[in-house]
Structure 1
Amino acid sequence: MADAPTDDVDTSRQPWDGGGQGTGPSNSAPTGGAGDPAAPERPSDEDILAQQNQIRAEQARVSEYVGNEEPMSALKEEYINGNQNFVQKIAKLEASYSTFRRTRGDGNCFFRGFIYSYLESLLLARDLTECDRIKSVIQEWKGKLVDGGFQALVFEDAMDVLLEQVAEISKPYTNFAHDKLLVDMRDDTISNLIVMLLRLITSCEVQRREDHFFPFILGMYDEPPATVELFCQRHVEPMGEESDHLHIVAITDALQIPVRVVYLDSSGLPTGGGSGLDATVHDFVPDSCVPGTHPRVHLLYRPGHYDILYAKGG
């Protein structure tokens, strides 16, 4: 699930098909003695990367960074002939959520869904107080990033782009303004600059609070990176790296934006006399928020992917 590398896909290289039958340079050991079946060829790292990039490039041609709103029934239809636990969970979610919006599965889906949903909520609610607050928070992050060792030249343009989006949202609501937000978040330059900025802020937040986050990092990998800085360089800052619990905690704390994630996975316990499963729900509410603060952003998690949810009644 990577975004940036898709422009560099080597289309002349055949993708590895998983069978190892002559689909790329061989790194395998010689075959055994007479009568022994030939050992499957192990694909090179370059072959595997080429295959992944080709898959991502194909997906980029058929899906927007941020899709259109769809009824929850469209989500349920995906599993109607398969995972019945998912079907039951989605059916229960329909009581709370009316629609959802897909994001491209490119590894940046959390950050893109998070910021689009947040900006859209400001636009629809005409929450000028929150617009002013987030502008101040973003501007404060310029100094924090520089203090954290990030060069202003790297992130200043991205920060200006995000601030411009907030400024547009501060204007009176029109359908055009709503449409423009969607168009902007589908634009390669605008959308990816904003995602890059969010990744840098997340990295800086994790490194600023090293004592808090390092135990989580140790628990995430059999061979964890030796330092928080190395973890961020490998798993936070690069475009296309998937996000998990740690990333969500860091960015919600950094920007003070509460988020609810609904997990459509194998977790959950039977409810209603065993009549089905409830999706697990987790609220990420920064300590700086006043007690009782409701999430501004609602995201749906499916293994390896995040989409946007729309609660009934706004």
Structure 2
Amino acid sequence: MADDAYMPADEDYAHLQKLSSEYAPEATGPLVGERQSSAAITTQYATADPVYRVKTAALPAKYAYFRTCRGDGHCGWRAIAFTYFEALLRVGDVGKFEDEEARLNSLGNLLAHIGYSRDIWIDFAEEAFELLRKLAHSLRNMDGQAAEILLQTFNDTSESMAIITYVKLLASAWVQTHSDDFMHFVPMGDVKAYCANNIEPTQCEADNIGIAALAEALVKPAGFGLEVWYLDRSPGEEINRSFHSEPTDHHHVPIPNAPMLRLLYKPGHYDILYKAGDVPRVHHQPPPPQQSLHVALANSFDDFQPTASNVADVMTMIPGMYPTGLGQRWPSLSYDFSPSPASCAQVTPIQPYAPVPTPITPVSTSHLDFVTPIHSGHTSQYNRPSIHSIHLDQPPVTLPIHPPPPPVSIDRAAPIGLERGGPFRPSMYELEPGFGSSMQVQPFQTSIFRNSHFNTAHYMNPDFEPEQWCPDGDYSNGNKGRHKLQSS
């Protein structure tokens, strides 16, 4: 080694050691974070020591949620103060906030006993009292903003530091006024010196003595409990409880189902823990049931029943609107409507001519309700379909009625067994089942029908087949002139 090489002196080593021991990374993040799943702690320690991995892996099963606190030297005090106000919200009693304000105000006697006049601590206490009033006002109005008000207050540096300073003064006053309970745990038994050096200064983190003092001065009189869970490298598969203060009443009787304030202590830092039961459940209102859809169908038949037909469905004429195969039905739709048929109009029957001796075979009308059936007998009346609402108030009129045509037997082809249905109601002017079949014989009943395209003998009918002239048939009638033509 060269003679001129630099050799650090002992003072330099001491200075470097001091800088290393006093180094603290800059604290970042919110002063109090949002509540989140404790599985994030398991993920954070996934690559850490095996003992930490085992303990953090078992943590979510017992404590479902946690909340972070910024590690700026006040995280312990901040965690206790925040959970104290949060426990009041969990109780949800507006009167409880007013009682706590009165009780905390009365603790001024403790502060006065250790030499702090009201002028010294009242400004810090007013921030805590104002927060109690805001939370009570929010609960009274039921606006749902109380939890947000609490979180915003503790994330405001000025307001949160004022509340933390007031809490620390309460802890110092409790330790000094109950020195017999703490003197065996402080150096040389000097309680006052210990509070002046380890509780009251700004950058002093909460220790076991300060937490125990706050449990007695702030937490237990409010009817709450406090416990601290320690995540360390001690043997075991779960975190250890390092502090516990059971909630009791004024007669030191345990309070059942009292809110518990839970802190998670990692070496040098405090966070907040929650069990699943500590978090209020959000009850989602089920969606209101939808009302039935009422569809008014114009000119609907109250007693309509789909019937079989061998006539091509009119819906198949629309592109894309056809059943998927033979015998398939159209997709069914449920129409919920309440028909209110109109009252039938009374029509004075008309006396017809005497009927012919041979009874007339009525034509099956299937579902064509617009056709008026003809009945044999001495009297007849018109049956108005249920879809019409016509009231005839005119006096009866006698009309000349011609005798009906001779009865004709119509043989209809058996309909094909296709069941029709679907979202479209058949038209009242739809042809009857089997009408238009090529196998049936259509008679000439009237001159109108004879000239209609419904007549199979009419050239406009789809099934029209013109008669063909056959020469051989004409020659077979013995026409002499034609025979002469053949012999020539």
| Smaller-chain TM-score bracket | 0.7 to 0.9
The 3 A distance-change label for structure 1 pair 279 and 51 is: closer
The 3 A distance-change label for structure 1 pair 51 and 230 is: closer
How far the C-alpha of 1:38 sits from its partner, in A, is 2.9
Matching of residues 46-195 of structure 1 within 5 Å? 48=19, 52=23, 55=24, 58-59=26-27, 62-171=28-137, 172=139, 173-195=142-164
Deviations 1:213-244 (A, max 9, x none): 01011xxxxxx266211110100001221212
Q: Determine if contact 1:259/1:296 at 8 Å carries over to the other structure.
A: yes
How far the C-alpha of 1:136 sits from its partner, in A, is 2.5
CA distance in 2, matches of 1:226, 1:253: 20
CA distance in 1, matches of 2:50, 2:21: 34
Deviations 1:90-144 (A, max 9, x none): 2322122221110011121111011111212222431335424422321111122
- Which residue number in structure 1 is paired with residue 398 of structure 2? none
Deviations 1:64-89 (A, max 9, x none): 21111221111111110112222222
One-letter amino acid of the structure 2 residue matched with residue 306 of structure 1: Y
Q: TM-score, normalization: structure 1?
A: 0.75
How far the C-alpha of 1:51 sits from its partner, in A, is 6.6
The 3 A distance-change label for structure 1 pair 102 and 246 is: same
2:266 paired residue among 302, 306, 310: 302
How far the C-alpha of 1:50 sits from its partner, in A, is 12
RMSD of aligned C-alpha atoms? 2.7
CA distance in 2, matches of 1:180, 1:131: 15
More helix by proportion, 1 or 2?
Answer: 1
CA distance in 1, matches of 2:189, 2:181: 15
SS of 1:299's equivalent in the other structure is strand
1:244 aligns with 2:182: no
Percent identity reads 28
The 3 A distance-change label for structure 1 pair 71 and 194 is: same
One-letter amino acid of the structure 2 residue matched with residue 232 of structure 1: C
The 3 A distance-change label for structure 1 pair 285 and 116 is: same
How far the C-alpha of 1:37 sits from its partner, in A, is 4.1
Aligned residues: 263
CA distance in 1, matches of 2:62, 2:93: 23
Segments of 5+ residues of structure 1 without an aligned counterpart are: 1-32, 218-223, 271-276
SS of 2:35's equivalent in the other structure is strand
How far the C-alpha of 1:179 sits from its partner, in A, is 1.3
- Which residue number in structure 2 is paired with residue 283 of structure 1? 244
Deviations 1:137-192 (A, max 9, x none): 21111122112201322210111110111122223244432212111101111100
CA distance in 2, matches of 1:280, 1:147: 37
One-letter amino acid of the structure 2 residue matched with residue 64 of structure 1: P
CA distance in 1, matches of 2:70, 2:7: 42
Q: TM-score, normalization: structure 2?
A: 0.50
1:313 aligns with 2:277: yes
CA distance in 2, matches of 1:290, 1:181: 30
Segments of 5+ residues of structure 2 without an aligned counterpart are: 279-488
SS of 1:300's equivalent in the other structure is strand
SS of 1:95's equivalent in the other structure is helix
More strand by proportion, 1 or 2?
Answer: 1
SS of 2:61's equivalent in the other structure is coil
Deviations 1:272-294 (A, max 9, x none): xxxxx121123223665531454
SS of 1:278's equivalent in the other structure is coil
1:212 aligns with 2:181: yes
